[in-house]
Amino acid sequence: MSVGLIALLDDIAALAKVAAASLDDIAGQAAKAGAKAAGVVIDDAAVTPRYVTGFSAARELPIIGKIALGSLKNKLLILLPAALILSLVAPQAITPLLMIGGFYLCYEGVEKVYALVLPHAAHAHETALETTSLDAKSVEDEKVAGAIKTDFILSAEIMAITLATVPSGSMFTQALILAVVGLGITVLVYGGVALIVKADDLGLMLARVRTASAMGAFFRAIGKGLVTGMPYFLKVLGIVGTAAMIWVGGGIIVHGLEAYGIGGPAHLIHDAGEATAHAIPVLPSVLRWIVEAAGAGIVGIVAGLIAIPVASYAVSPIWRYLKSLLPRRRKEALADGKK
């Protein structure tokens, strides 16, 4: 009996080692995949703070919480199973879906630039579109809905990059890695966003420190710097977020075209980056990235300019028509119920 028990314990220990090694492997692969998606993560973090501008300080964290919860639902309940199913039964559908998402990002980003350059025309465009959310009852609801919709596209890109990075294996392992990456990135992005938008409140608290010591003076100086600087920082971050939407969307479109054999734009952008890096040997990697991001941004601007009239004259009329059917169907359902 004692020998059997020892053998059983040895087997349990061996299984525990295998499980630990598997967990280490999953953690390592999740970290690698998360690093690959770092560019999109930065874009996500830059885009989100603009959705809480204009609201009272008391509503900032609740709004971020709603967006973070929506982001988790996007990643874990919709995109994770969809990515696994599509990769299994229709992998060819992933690229066109990502390209549609890229066009949406370009549309969102260029629309912001459009509103800045031609505010009257942009207002007419927004009036024609009405609202894109059936359930939006307030400005906050619309902002949250818009943020979650944009997050869906960015999250889809993150999950697609993660899935492409994960080596082929069991579906359970792939699902676990996708879940770890999705959860980790959501916590990282929205935790960082919460810190950014509440930094001015922290600054106000530090500026009110009454201690007469040198440390108190240091805290007050830091607090005044935060209070003064955060509005400008948020404006810069909003500009970065808009630019990020355009260049990420453009990059998705360029890579999608390359997957369909139209490699001219991708090669042109890559060659321009390489030529710049060779011509100016100071920080070549940084220069290469800047040129390639600018190239993707140009593609994104063109795509956004195409998407704006498409949204105004094709998507919006269809959407309004579908919305008009809902009250009619409710009335018909009520009438049938009365009968």
DSSP-based three-state secondary structure for 233: helix
What distance in Å separates the CA atoms of residue 88 and residue 248, rounded to the nearest whole number? 26
Residues 141/147, Cβ–Cβ less than 8 Å: no
Q: Between residues 333 and 306, which one has the greater pLDDT? A: 306
Question: Which amino acid, one-letter code, is at 93?
Answer: A
- pTM of the shown model: 0.69
What distance in Å separates the CA atoms of residue 249 and residue 153, rounded to the nearest whole number? 9
Residues 214/190, Cβ–Cβ less than 8 Å: no
Question: Which amino acid, one-letter code, is at 319?
Answer: W
pLDDT of residue 300: 94
Question: What are the residue boundaries of the structural domains of the chain, listed by start?
Answer: 23-338
Reduce the secondary structure of 42-87 to three states and give it as a string.
HHHHHHHHHHCCCCCHHHHHHHHHHHHHHHHHHHHHHHHHHHHHHH
DSSP-based three-state secondary structure for 118: coil
pLDDT of residue 274: 92
Residues 133/145, Cβ–Cβ less than 8 Å: yes
Residues 320/123, Cβ–Cβ less than 8 Å: no
Give per-residue pLDDT as tens, 5-35: 445 445 444 444 443 444 455 555 555 555 5
What distance in Å separates the CA atoms of residue 221 and residue 211, rounded to the nearest whole number? 12
pLDDT category of residue 209 using cuts at 50, 70 and 90:
confident
Q: Between residues 338 and 268, which one has the greater pLDDT? A: 268
Report the pLDDT averaged over residues 43-61. 71
Q: Between residues 112 and 31, which one has the greater pLDDT? A: 112
DSSP-based three-state secondary structure for 1: coil
What distance in Å separates the CA atoms of residue 199 and residue 257, rounded to the nearest whole number? 41
Nearest by Cα to 72 from 80, 82, 61 = 80
Nearest by Cα to 253 from 157, 166, 169, 134 = 157
Instruction: Say how many CA atoms lie within 13 Å of 148 toward its Cβ.
Output: 23
Q: Between residues 56 and 148, which one has the greater pLDDT? A: 148
CA distances from 207 to 27, 89, 190, 201, 202 (A): 42, 59, 26, 10, 9
Give per-residue pLDDT as tens, 54-95: 677 777 888 888 999 998 999 889 988 988 888 888 888 878
Phi, psi angle pair for 208, to nearest 5°: -95, 5
Angle at Cα 90 formed by Cα 84 and Cα 91, nearest 5°? 70
Token pair listed for 13: 């220990």
What distance in Å separates the CA atoms of residue 108 and residue 119, rounded to the nearest whole number? 15
Q: What percent of the chain has a predicted confidence (pLDDT) above 70?
A: 73
Give per-residue pLDDT as tens, 170-206: 778 788 888 888 888 888 888 888 888 888 888 888 8
What distance in Å separates the CA atoms of residue 183 and residue 30, rounded to the nearest whole number? 11
